[in-house]
Amino acid sequence: MVLKSFVEVQPDSHFPIQNLPYGVFRPAPGSEPRPGVAIGEYVLDLSVVASAGLFDGPVLKNSDCFNQVNLNKFVGLGRPAWKEARVTLQKLLSATEPTLRDNPSLRQKALVPVVQVQMLLPVVIGDYTDFFASMHHAKNCGLIFRGPENPINPNWFHIPIAYHGRASSIVISGTDIIRPRGQGHPPGNSPPYFGPSRKLDFEMEMAAVVGPGNELGKPVDVNEAADHIFGLVLMNDWSARDIQAWEYVPLGPFLGKSFGTTISPWIVTLDALEPFASDAPKKNPPPLPYLAEKISKNYDISLQVSIKPAGEEDRCIVTRSNFKHLYWTITQQLAHHTINGCNLRPGDLLGTGTISGPEPESYGCLLELTWNGQKPLSLGGSTRKFLEDGDEVIFTGCCKGDGYLVGFGTCSGKILPSPS
């Protein structure tokens, strides 16, 4: 029997009772931020639910985690709290449960139309790491910049490669992105140019939100890593390719990445994604023991990127990919991150890196889709090598269940001109 909510949920909604993703919102301008879950076209205010004493399980009964202005305290409580909250919320919202359904005053207080709210970053992100976990993306970048002789460096098949990103410039979906300025890669032996980036790009990614952290010096076992991951968000790690190409040797990305990273407002939990688990790609060569998982899995999450060109009303779909294409799983990424003793904390963000599929129409960024500008992309009445001022980029992602979707909503941002 399919679980149904008393709240009306359209068949194409990303937020049925099977999902219940977590976010942080303001119900009205100037009001205090508070945690909520999405259900159909509404946000369920968890501070109201908690104040009514409806979280009565052993972990959450005496907790003030839903009276906070972010989700850090809740995600830090770990899987027992997450499971208890999910069971409680699915019961409260089910069509057969009268507690909320038949209490008009409580229902009106607890359920806020999503069109009225302002969504905020769901967690305070202390640290942000971005991986390079898609083999297809790694291969394409290698072909573009190094040629066919050695497109993927040998170490890539042994360790999940990553760089440490800039947490302060992570923004919520809908925030405009100002075109960055910096030094660009010079042609030949000429001096580098300085100015607005000429090769601004999107990167279709997802990111894991860390739950309980680990103590400094104590790595997380790869087979226990899922207990340290609360859920996933969509992520656009905007990239200035010309700035990055000039700066990344020998230490990697810096100004080409740190000007802005956009995430979607709703964190979809691993419990909600579990029905869509799929086998991860077979590793060749086999990973070292600390990365060898008993069960190595990804999730079947369909991903799509659209661009709404500057001055136009219609958006064009430019790529479709899937989370299941990742070579290194999110649990392997987390275990590798901590193997040297690095301590993760609740709310830390671990980006997957660009998620490209095997076919040209599934490449996850303009660098690949246009082959570094050599093959301009058609967007209806215009073409693009890279993003232009006024372009809006929209990510979506969802899993398809039996008569319902489990989705992430959208992750969007518009490019504004660089300041003069």
Going along the chain from its start, the domains and CATH numbers come out as 22-120 (2.30.30.230), 128-416 (3.90.850.10)
Per-residue 3-state assignment (H helix, E strand, C coil) for 111-154: EEEHHHCEEECCCCCCCEEEECCCHHHHHHHHHHHCCCCCCCCH
Distance CA 199, CA 217 (A): 40
Distance CA 332, CA 221 (A): 9
Distance CA 359, CA 114 (A): 37
Q: Which residues, listed in sequence order, are joined to residue 406 by a DSSP beta bridge?
A: 399
Other C-beta atoms lying within 10 Å of the C-beta of residue 405: 19
CA angle, 359 then 308 then 206, to 5°: 50
* Residue 89: strand, helix, or coil: helix
Task: Take residue 72 and report the two structure tokens written for it.
Answer: 């850090």
- Element at 350 (helix H, strand E): strand 349-351
Distance CA 313, CA 270 (A): 36
Task: Enter the pTM of the model.
Answer: 0.97
Distance CA 350, CA 337 (A): 9
Q: What tens digit of pLDDT does each residue of 182-231 get?
A: 999 888 889 999 999 999 999 999 999 999 999 999 999 999 999 999 99
* Residue 78: strand, helix, or coil: coil
Distance CA 23, CA 14 (A): 14
CA angle, 9 then 10 then 11, to 5°: 115
Distance CA 122, CA 232 (A): 12
Distance CA 250, CA 258 (A): 17
Distance CA 230, CA 210 (A): 6
Give the number of residues written for the chain.
Answer: 420
Taking alpha carbons only, the member of 337, 333, 303, 298 closest to residue 317 is 303
Q: Which residues are catalytic?
A: 137
Residue recorded with tokens 């860390």: 210
pLDDT of residue 381: 86
Taking alpha carbons only, the member of 337, 323, 366, 334 closest to residue 233 is 323
Distance CA 204, CA 326 (A): 12
* Positions of the chain with pLDDT under 50: none
Q: Which amino acid is at 68?
A: Q
Edge-first strand listing for the sheet containing 392-400: 177-178, 405-416, 392-400, 302-308, 316-322
Answer whether 352's CB lies under 8 Å from 160's CB.
no
Other C-beta atoms lying within 10 Å of the C-beta of residue 123: 27
pLDDT of residue 88: 98
Classify strands 42-45 and 34-39 as parallel, antiparallel or unpaired: antiparallel
